[in-house]
């Protein structure tokens, strides 16, 4: 059985605000949301569309996470990023879905497979789930995801847009 990917707060929040939360399923049918991430996403967001969207997606499962190994703790990341990387490290075949630069460096250094929010958009475009990666990227930017013009242009070139 393929292990579900673990997702961090910023992809969930930005995808949710953009109305694109279901793009998480291009990575896998089930998504693991480590408890510290779930708490971050829902803290202070009573009635928020993202918190409500999470409740309506049974395929997003809040999971307990074991204590992080020393090689992840050494990076001094926030609790959500640490939990996502710990989940992926402890569940071979799992992917860490996160955007934070330092967390991505940690994943690369430790050989943890990863994908960012824009990477999900590109995968969705390649698989024909969405018609336009540019439109999705614009919606993500409007939802609060920082993406430079150069990064967006380079990414869109990868899918012929």
The phi, psi pair for 139, rounded to 5°, reads -65, -40
Secondary structure class of 110 (helix, strand, coil): helix
pLDDT at 126 over 60: yes
Set out the domains of the chain in order of their start, with CATH numbers. 6-116 (3.40.50.1010), 119-158 (no CATH)
- Looking up tokens 């059985």 gives 1
pLDDT at 1 over 70: no
Residues 134-154: tens digit of each pLDDT: 999 999 999 889 999 999 999
**Rg for the chain (alpha carbons), in Å?**
15
Question: Distance between CA atoms of 5 and 129, rounded to whole angstroms?
Answer: 19
Give the DSSP H/E element, type plus range, for residue 34: strand 31-34
Residue in 160, 85, 157, 155 with CA at minimum distance from that of residue 121: 155
Please report the pLDDT score of residue 43 as a whole number: 79
Please report the pLDDT score of residue 53 as a whole number: 77
């Amino acid at each position: 059985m393929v292990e579900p990917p673990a997702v961090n707060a910023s992809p969930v929040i930005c995808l949710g605000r953009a109305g694109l939360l279901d793009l998480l399923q291009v990575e896998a049918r089930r998504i693991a949301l480590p408890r510290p991430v779930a708490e971050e996403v829902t803290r202070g967001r009573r009635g928020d569309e993202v918190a409500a969207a999470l409740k309506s997606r049974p395929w997003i499962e809040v999971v307990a996470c074991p204590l992080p190994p020393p090689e992840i703790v050494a990076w001094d990341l926030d609790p959500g990023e640490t939990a996502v990387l710990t989940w992926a490290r402890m569940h071979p075949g799992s992917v860490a879905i996160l955007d934070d630069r330092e967390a991505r460096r940690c994943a690369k250094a430790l050989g943890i497979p990863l994908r960012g929010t824009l990477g999900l958009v590109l995968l969705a475009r390649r698989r024909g789930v969405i018609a336009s990666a540019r439109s999705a990227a614009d919606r993500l930017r409007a939802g609060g995801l920082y993406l430079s013009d150069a990064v967006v242009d380079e990414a869109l070139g990868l899918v012929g847009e």
